[in-house]
Structure 1
Amino acid sequence: MSWFPRPASPKALLADLRLFASQRSPYQWGGLAVALIMPVLLIAGFAHDASHGIQPGPQLIYAHSWPATRTDEEIKVQQKIDQAKREAAQKERQRQFKKLDQGLKKVGL
């Protein structure tokens, strides 16, 4: 006793498809077309996006070169200058956020 049905002929397959297609309304064919086209468009869009311009270009990073003869005092002075720049940038960023917060409060957020 066989558990699997015997294979159908291509003629039987085409007859079944014709019968199935004759019982469908035009709206069902439109729905089928939309159901098939939308995933294809999404996959094609992702494939196009993945292959066109997502990776950033090469970036040049310049390292500051210091003389080997600089003293500890020169290092400390430069660190103070760098720290002052960082603090100024942080205060400017805080000012920008405060301005944004005030603008949002004006509109009720």
Structure 2
Amino acid sequence: MALPRPSRPLAAWQDFVGFLRSRERHDYIAALLAVAITSFILYAFYHDSYAERQPRIVYVESWPATRTDAEIKRDITAEQAARDRAKAERQAQYKRLADQLGIR
């Protein structure tokens, strides 16, 4: 099986220009969007690979084995009260923001 003769660069360029001239406008737009979206995705992966990640530190509370059920219930009640206060404060902040923006 014989290989085809190599073409001249000018002939290849003319063939490419002829191909482009036979295309419609929407073909160019679709090709541009395809290249842009692909380029954005590749850039996002490239950028993400160099992003510095901060370690996530999780603090765990340790209790003695001699802790009584009453102490456990008291701690749970106190933690729930703190969560409820934080939730109420957050709701109040959203209410103030809604009032400032005129949202009902």
The TM-score by the shorter chain falls in which range?
0.5 to 0.7
Gap runs ≥5 in structure 2: 21-27
The alpha-carbon distance between structure 1 residues 22 and 74, as it changes in their structure 2 partners (threshold 3 A), is closer
Gaps of 5+ in 1: 1-5, 25-30
Of 9, 13, 16, which aligns to 1:14? 9
> For the pair shown, which has the larger CA radius of gyration, 1 or 2?
1
Q: Residue in 2 aligned with 1:79?
A: 76
Structure-2 separation of matches of 1:22 and 1:58: 53
Aligned counterpart, 2:65: 68
Q: Distance in 2 between matches of 1:88 and 1:49?
A: 40
What is the percent sequence identity of the aligned residues? 30
Please state how far the C-alpha of 1:53 moved relative to its aligned partner.
0.8
* CA deviation after TM superposition for structure 1 residue 38, in Å: 5.4
Shift of 1:99: 1.2
| Aligned residue type for 2:76 | Q
Q: Which one has more relative contact order, counting CA pairs under 8 Å at least 6 apart? A: 2
Q: TM-score, normalised by structure 2?
A: 0.63
Partner Cα distance (1:22, 1:71) in 2:
84
Q: Which residue of 2 aligns with 1:98?
A: 95
- What RMSD, in angstroms, separates the aligned Cα atoms of the two structures? 3.5
* Other-structure match for 1:52: 50
* Per-residue CA distance 1:34-60 (angstroms, 9 max, x = gap): x5x857853552243121116x32212
Q: TM-score, normalised by structure 1?
A: 0.60
Q: How many residues align?
A: 92
